[in-house]
Amino acid sequence: MNLRLRITCLSSLLFCSLIATAQWSTATLSIGRTQLAGASANGIAVFAGGIGFISQPPGVFDQYNVNTNAWTSGNFSPARCKLSAVSCGSYLLFAGGANDWILSDYDNVNIYNTTQNTWSVANALSAARSYTAGASAGSKAVFAGGESGMFGLYFNNADVYDTLTQTWSQSALSTARSRLAAAGSGTKILFAGGKNAGSTFNTVDIYDVIGNSWSTDSLSIARSGLCGVASGNKIYFAGGVTALNQPSNRIDVYDVTTGTWSIDSLSQARQRIAAASVDNLVFFAGGCNAGGTTAYTTVDILNTATGTWSVANLSNARQEAAATAIGNRFIIAGGAGSSGAPTPSVEIYTVTSTGLIQTQENERLTVYPNPVIGSATVELLHNTSGTGRIELIDCTGRLVLQDRVSSGQTNYTLKTETLPKGLYTLGFYPSDGEVLKRRIVVE
């Protein structure tokens, strides 16, 4: 097990200054619900679906705009819970799910175009199912695995959506299973763990979005109900329940650059964790014991720049919540407490002093299109005076481009024709003011 420094914060209102100055704030969903899904892009976070105090899903979404700091809500149809969500470019996709009230599983995918502020819905999955796992890399979003609780079926279906062509294709996992976890980084999407009626798996299916090919690997411990999250060139699979029905504190860490694994641990063994990353910070929030009878307030926070951990606490214990990151905010919404009652509570962790932490989705540094094919426009709204420079770093940390920016220049053409496909970090370094960074994908 990796040695590390773990710092315990005595107050959730003033976070440890060794990492960054930050604060917690709260909001409220329009309807309290659990088993919902969340995703964000272009300054907009959406929490959709879920189930409330009765067994009939309410059919609603809640939307947060980071620029206006305002919440709105709307109708989400078909109403369902146990769905999964993926952000890919400017699109948010909400796929599958179930409605126990009418004993139905769904093949629907609701797609929100954050640029045009429009919704569409189609019967796009190859099989109706719930408890799928979804993630994206490059221009592709993939939803894989799942189950039909009503019929006792488990699926190996993998449905691939290409945002560039707006088309669907089908593939398959190596093993049919549900309650697995997924995350994507660079050109890879990993689907890890899960279970079916008779087994709990350590299987990891790896999808290469460029080669449209699959390979397999293994977690250090077989488990289901785990979470997956990416930060930089690493993917983290944390927590879950083992084959012996014991909660796990294990974190398996996959480096997409080297294709190697390492392990770490949470401060508390638990499953049904909500996870997201804000640039250098990775959050593992809430969760519950193996039986789901005790929900937790624990938030483990990894600073990937320093390799150090800290622990904070939510105001409300919750399991099966939804989490996403937007700008310099980590947002966790909904979920259920130990009693099983759903909550409308939203808790927001805002990084207010960055230090080593750079805001990934700072709206003052916009790149379009992203993924980049050939060239892209970089908007530098921060460059109101003085000169600066543009730098592009590949996923190995190598500087591949450096260029000067003139005083007052607010648009820059980024040319990528000669660069290999993959994940890069674009940085703008003004002569005066804050350094801005954003991740881009070169196709």
Q: Give the CATH number, domain containing residue 386.
A: 2.60.40.3080
Q: Which residue has the higher pLDDT, 117 or 370?
A: 117
In a domain, 185, yes or no: yes
Q: Tell me, what's the pLDDT at 8?
A: 33
- Tell me the pLDDT band of 5, cut-offs 50, 70 and 90: very low
Q: Tell me, what's the pLDDT at 2?
A: 40
pLDDT in tens, 145-185: 999 988 899 999 999 999 999 999 999 999 999 999 999 99
Claim to verify: residue 378 and residue 272 sit in the same structural domain: no
In a domain, 417, yes or no: yes
Q: Which residue has the higher pLDDT, 22 or 376?
A: 376
Claim to verify: residue 396 and residue 272 sit in the same structural domain: no
Last residue of a domain, one of 320, 353, 386: 353
Work out whether strand 188-192 and strand 203-208 pair parallel, antiparallel, or are unpaired: antiparallel
Claim to verify: residue 405 and residue 256 sit in the same structural domain: no
Claim to verify: residue 307 and residue 436 sit in the same structural domain: no
CATH code, domain with 198:
2.120.10.80
In a domain, 283, yes or no: yes
As a whole number, mean pLDDT of residues 25-52 equals 96
Claim to verify: residue 232 and residue 262 sit in the same structural domain: yes
CA angle 222, 223, 227 (to 5 degrees): 125
Claim to verify: residue 274 and residue 387 sit in the same structural domain: no
- Tell me the pLDDT band of 22, cut-offs 50, 70 and 90: low
Q: Tell me, what's the pLDDT at 13?
A: 28
CA angle 173, 76, 97 (to 5 degrees): 25
Q: Which of 28-32, 211-215, 291-295, 349-353 has the lowest mean pLDDT?
A: 349-353
Q: Tell me, what's the pLDDT at 150?
A: 80
Q: Which residue has the higher pLDDT, 360 or 104?
A: 104
Most confident of 53-67, 240-254, 347-361: 240-254
Q: Which two tokens mark 363?
A: 């709206």
Closest alpha carbon to 297 in 12, 3, 5? 12
Q: DSSP letters of 152-208?
A: TEE--EEEEEETTTTEEEEEE-SS--BS-EEEEETTEEEEE--B-SS-B--EEEEEE
- Tell me the pLDDT band of 378, cut-offs 50, 70 and 90: confident
- Which domain covers residue 68, as residue numbers? 6-353
Claim to verify: residue 346 and residue 373 sit in the same structural domain: no
Q: What is the mean pLDDT of the chain?
A: 88
Last residue of a domain, one of 310, 332, 353: 353
- Tell me the pLDDT band of 362, cut-offs 50, 70 and 90: very low
Closest alpha carbon to 331 in 299, 294, 295, 296? 299
In a domain, 360, yes or no: no
pLDDT surpassing 80 at residue 355: no
pLDDT surpassing 80 at residue 89: yes
pTM: 0.77
Task: Decide: 272 and 284 in contact? Cβ < 8 Å.
Answer: no
Q: DSSP letters of 370-399?
A: EEEESEEEEEETT-SSS-EEEEEEETTS-E
Q: Which of 54-58, 132-136, 213-217, 300-304 has the lowest mean pLDDT?
A: 54-58
Q: Which two tokens mark 81?
A: 């819970």
In a domain, 358, yes or no: no
Q: Which residue has the higher pLDDT, 280 or 386?
A: 280
Task: Decide: 66 and 45 in contact? Cβ < 8 Å.
Answer: yes
- Tell me the pLDDT band of 364, cut-offs 50, 70 and 90: low
* Residues sharing a CB contact under 8 Å with residue 173, sequence separation 6 or more, in sequence order: 144, 145, 156, 157, 158, 191, 203, 205
Instruction: State the Cα–Cα distance between residues 47 and 324, nearest whole angstrom.
Output: 9
In a domain, 172, yes or no: yes
Q: Tell me, what's the pLDDT at 11?
A: 31
Most confident of 100-114, 389-403, 406-420: 100-114
Claim to verify: residue 127 and residue 238 sit in the same structural domain: yes
Q: Total structural domains in the chain?
A: 2
Task: Decide: 268 and 249 in contact? Cβ < 8 Å.
Answer: yes
pLDDT surpassing 90 at residue 79: yes
Q: Tell me, what's the pLDDT at 20?
A: 41
In a domain, 433, yes or no: yes
As a whole number, mean pLDDT of residues 64-91 equals 96
Q: Which of 1-15, 142-156, 286-300, 401-415 has the lowest mean pLDDT?
A: 1-15
As a whole number, mean pLDDT of residues 310-332 equals 95
Claim to verify: residue 21 and residue 158 sit in the same structural domain: yes
pLDDT in tens, 239-298: 999 999 999 999 999 999 999 999 999 999 999 999 999 988 999 999 999 999 999 999
Claim to verify: residue 274 and residue 405 sit in the same structural domain: no
Q: Tell me, what's the pLDDT at 360?
A: 38
Claim to verify: residue 400 and residue 262 sit in the same structural domain: no
pLDDT surpassing 60 at residue 429: yes
Q: Tell me, what's the pLDDT at 371?
A: 81
Q: How far is CA 363 from the centre of its chain?
A: 19
pLDDT surpassing 50 at residue 17: no
As a whole number, mean pLDDT of residues 83-107 equals 94
Q: Which two tokens mark 382?
A: 């921060």
Q: Which two tokens mark 323?
A: 């989490």
Q: Which residue has the higher pLDDT, 100 or 64?
A: 64
Q: Tell me, what's the pLDDT at 12?
A: 30
Closest alpha carbon to 324 in 64, 21, 71? 64
Task: Decide: 194 and 218 in contact? Cβ < 8 Å.
Answer: no
Provide the residue count of the chain.
Answer: 443
Q: Tell me, what's the pLDDT at 357?
A: 35
Claim to verify: residue 55 and residue 123 sit in the same structural domain: yes
Last residue of a domain, one of 325, 353, 381: 353
In a domain, 45, yes or no: yes
As a whole number, mean pLDDT of residues 405-410 equals 80
pLDDT surpassing 80 at residue 359: no
% residues pLDDT > 90 (the chain): 70
